[in-house]
């Protein structure tokens, strides 16, 4: 089997490409990436001295924008350090959510708190599906990251409602018709049975007399 080629080719970027470069940058990429994406979409082209010079002005503007965005992100990361965001959700009596908390939900919560965090910057391996506390990483770039605490609370008191319900050994809710009658009721039934027995004995004695 032939060894995969590590060859790269040089491309001049006509637009900003995240994690690759900005307009006017000359970058090295895999041939397949250039042929299948950059070149056919006009995002990149073969570099020439004329084209590199023509894009210098656009490159300077793009670089200024990138630095401005990075400065804003630094400010956001600083504000997010050790921050707590609380989300209130509906759930069942075991704390399982009706639905889930996603990157979009966390992003919306942070925006509401005054922090412009896009959902793509929220590192959440899986949606949150239960009530609880969850550490979540916010990362814009390799060196711009912070960890926040996301607290998902129930929209009602679970402890109070759980006291009024009974569950079997497997955690299934016991229907009211299956529950035991209150002891007072059982005691009343026993007393009624005793009274009936006494009345029957009395009637038997009277008949014999």
Q: Block means of pLDDT (10 residues each) for the chain, length 209 residues? A: 67 93 95 95 95 95 94 94 92 92 95 92 93 94 92 84 45 51 50 54 50
Instruction: Look up tokens 């089997």; give the residue.
Output: 1
Residue 141, beta-bridge partner list: 144
Q: ∠ CA 51-54-59 to the nearest 5 degrees?
A: 105
User: What are the structural domains of the chain?
Assistant: 9-76 (3.40.5.10), 86-159 (3.10.430.100)
- Give the distance from CA 133 to its chain's centroid: 11
State the pTM of this model: 0.62
Tell me the pLDDT tens digit for each residue of 157-198.
876 544 444 544 333 445 555 555 545 444 455 555 555 555
CA-to-CA distance for 80 and 148, rounded, in angstroms?
7
């Amino acid at each position: 089997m032939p060894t995969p080629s590590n060859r790269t080719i040089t491309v001049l970027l006509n637009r900003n490409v995240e994690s690759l470069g900005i307009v006017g940058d000359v970058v090295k990429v895999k041939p397949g990436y250039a042929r299948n994406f950059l070149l056919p979409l006009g995002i990149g082209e073969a570099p020439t001295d004329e084209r590199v010079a023509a894009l210098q002005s656009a490159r300077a503007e793009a670089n200024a924008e990138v630095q401005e965005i990075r400065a804003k992100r630094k400010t956001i990361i600083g504000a997010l350090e050790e921050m707590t965001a609380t989300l209130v959700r509906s759930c069942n009596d075991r704390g399982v959510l009706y639905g889930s908390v996603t990157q979009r939900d966390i992003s919306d919560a942070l925006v509401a708190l005054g922090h412009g965090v896009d959902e793509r910057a929220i590192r959440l391996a899986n949606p949150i599906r239960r009530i609880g506390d969850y550490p979540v990483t916010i990362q814009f770039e390799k060196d711009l990251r912070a960890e926040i605490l996301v607290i998902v609370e129930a929209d009602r008191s679970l402890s109070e409602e759980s006291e009024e319900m009974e569950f079997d050994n497997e955690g299934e809710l016991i229907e009211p018709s299956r529950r035991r009658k209150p002891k007072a009721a059982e005691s009343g039934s026993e007393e009624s049975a005793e009274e009936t027995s006494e009345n029957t004995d009395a009637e038997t004695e009277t008949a014999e007399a």
